Amino acid sequence: MTDQKLILLLKIIMSIGISLILAGVYCHMYSETIEKMGVTGIVISACLVAIGMILSLPTKMYLTFILVKREEDSKKAL
């Protein structure tokens, strides 16, 4: 897999993770259905946030590593 495809895949995974975090926050704050569910609703919104963080944080770290490495390589080439 080329670097460009890998970066695109990681950006997509990171976007999905951030979307899940936002969906979890929205469900927790503004959804009446989740509020009526009680503890189960809180667990559902917490799971959305947790899965979103699992998807987004390692991806951000890896993308940062790739971009720093790419910048160092370009400096060495000059």
**pLDDT, tens digit, 9 for 90 and up, residues 47-77:** 999 999 999 888 878 878 888 888 888 888 7
pLDDT higher at 22 or 62 = 22
Tally the domains of the chain: 1
**pLDDT, tens digit, 9 for 90 and up, residues 25-41:** 999 888 888 889 999 99
The predicted pLDDT at position 7 comes to: 79
Kindly write down the DSSP assignment for every residue of the chain, as one continuous string: --HHHHHHHHHHHHHHHHHHHHHHHHHHHH-HHHHHHTHHHHHHHHHHHHHHHHHHHHHHHHHHHHHHHHHHHHHHH-
Domain boundaries, position 32: 3-77
The predicted pLDDT at position 4 comes to: 84
The values of phi and psi at residue 2, to 5°, are -75, 165
The predicted pLDDT at position 57 comes to: 85
Instruction: Evaluate whether 14 touches 60 at the Cβ level (below 8 Å).
Output: yes
